[in-house]
Amino acid sequence: MSQITAADVKKLREQTGAGMMDCKKALTEAGGDFDAAVDLLRKKGLAAASKKAGRIAAEGVVLAKSTGQSGVIVEVNAETDFVSKNEKFTSFVDALANLILERRPKDLDALKAMDFDGENTVEQALAQLIATIGENMTLRRFSRIDVEHGTVAAYVHGAGKIGVLVGISGDVDEGLARGIAMHVAAANPRYIKREDVPASVIEREKAVLSERAQASGKPAAIIDKIVQGQLNKFFSEICLLEQPYVMDTDVTVGKALGEAEVVAMVRYALGEGIEKKEEDFAAEVAAQVKG
């Protein structure tokens, strides 16, 4: 067995990101064989990742990137907000976004199976990151938008708390395109235009508005006009093109765009829909005292 030096341990730590003692143990177990030690740490990393898989990961980061006519948005979750500031984590998410832009995976399973760095798949690289940082992490979702004639604007708000992609067809100023993406982040429209709103949603809203109008005691002859007016207000609240543009509230988003057309939009809010565990620390302490 070759002698294990501090330089060997340092080199292994830099390559794998594992702790110093773990690196020393791996080198010892591998008889000083560097490549074998790397493999041992990878295997242990996968095991460590599986142990953490049941823990809730609702923090992390949302990243949106654009290359002009193509854009990607991806959400990777972790257990705590601290991880979103970890350079290894943010570098992984950035590399992931670039991979999606370049390789165009069709879904999460295809993405996880893709080669990440010449040695690991995306799934293996994530498992190593879990072992290195010590938190459960999940690759939750991604979307991409491509436009043939136009631009894809990307915007990230709050250090990765909200991410937006907007695909705009036609000639549009770069500043305006970014402004529309910022508007989507702030106003959270549910649809691009009123034609996109499902008939079931419209009928449900009409029923509520009609019942309210009838209860007001207004004459039946004008109830339809009242309902239509309130329905228009409803559309202006949920449809992007009818919302007052946040950068200039005197015009709607549709008016600000002119001849250009929004053809797609995606908005991710970090952790939305993930049920977070509520910690009752008082009860936990009380239980420990009684025990």
Where are the domains positioned within the chain? 6-52, 59-172+261-269, 199-236
What's residue 52's pLDDT?
Answer: 58
Phi-psi domain of 158 (left: phi exceeds 0; alpha: psi -120 through 50; beta: other) = left
CATH class of the region 6-52: mainly alpha
Q: Residue 62 has what pLDDT?
A: 97
**Could you tell me the mean pLDDT of each successive run of 10 residues in the chain, 291 residues long?**
80 70 84 83 58 68 96 94 91 97 96 94 92 89 96 95 97 95 97 96 89 79 86 95 96 97 97 68 49 46
Check for a shared fold between 6-52 and 59-172+261-269. no
Partners of 168 in beta bridges: 151, 262
Q: Which two tokens stand for residue 276?
A: 């977070």
Query: How far is Cα 212 from Cα 5, in angstroms, rounded to an integer?
Result: 79
Judging by beta carbons within 10 Å of its beta carbon (0-12, 13-18, 19+), is residue 108 exposed, middle or buried? middle
- Residue 234 · residue 186 · CB < 8 Å: no
Q: Which CATH class is domain 59-172+261-269?
A: alpha beta
| Confidence at residue 56, expressed as pLDDT on a 0 to 100 scale | 64
Residue 27 near residue 12, CB atoms below 8 Å = yes
pLDDT value of residue 288: 47
